[in-house]
C-alpha cells in the first residue's frame, strides 16, 4: 500500500524500513557478483556461476532432509522476504548468515587469488 489513501492510517509507515531492506538486498546481490568475479577473474564465467550455482543449491536444499538449515544457507529464502515485509530478528539472522556464505566466503577467496597473483610489468 504505497499509494496515498485518504482516511487510511499508516499507509506510508513501513516505507523507509522497506526501502532500507531493499537497498541491503540489492547491495548483497552486487557484492556477491563482484565476489564471484574475483574468484574467477573474469566477468562472463562469474555471471554464469552466479546464476547457476545458487539455483542448483536451491534445488539441493529444497529436499526435506535440509528443512532445518535451508533458511540459513539459501539466499533466496533468507533475502526474499526483505523486499516484501519488515524482517523479524530470526529473519535478520538468516539474512546475515546466508549472504556470509555466498558473499563473504567467495570474496575472501577472490582476495586471496588477487594477493597470490603474479605481478607483471
**pTM (predicted TM-score):** 0.77
Query: DSSP string of 48-86?
Result: HHHHHHHHHHHHHHTSGGGTTTHHHH-HHHHHGGGGTS-
Q: What is the distance of C-alpha 34 from the center of its chain?
A: 12
Buried b (16+ CB within 10 A) or exposed e, 47-77: eebbeeebeebeeebeeeeeeeebbbbbbeb
Let me know if 11 is exposed, middle or buried by CB neighbors in 10 A (0-12, 13-18, 19+). middle
60 φ/ψ angles, rounded to the nearest 5 degrees: -70, -50
- The one-digit pLDDT tens for each residue of the chain (121 residues) are 445 556 666 667 788 888 999 999 999 889 999 999 999 988 899 989 988 988 898 889 888 888 888 889 988 888 888 888 899 999 999 999 998 888 889 999 999 998 887 777 6
Amino acid at each position: 500500500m504505497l499509494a496515498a489513501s485518504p482516511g487510511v492510517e499508516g499507509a506510508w509507515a513501513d516505507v523507509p524500513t522497506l526501502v532500507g531492506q531493499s537497498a541491503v538486498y540489492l547491495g548483497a546481490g552486487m557484492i556477491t557478483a563482484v565476489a564471484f568475479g574475483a574468484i574467477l577473474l573474469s566477468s562472463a564465467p562469474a555471471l554464469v556461476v552466479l546464476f547457476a550455482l545458487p539455483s542448483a543449491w536451491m534445488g539441493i536444499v529444497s529436499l526435506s532432509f535440509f528443512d532445518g538449515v535451508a533458511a540459513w544457507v539459501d539466499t533466496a529464502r533468507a533475502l526474499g522476504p526483505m523486499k516484501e515485509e519488515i524482517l523479524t530478528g530470526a529473519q535478520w539472522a538468516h539474512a546475515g548468515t546466508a549472504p556470509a556464505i555466498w558473499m563473504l566466503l567467495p570474496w575472501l577467496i577472490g582476495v586471496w587469488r588477487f594477493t597470490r597473483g603474479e605481478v607483471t610489468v
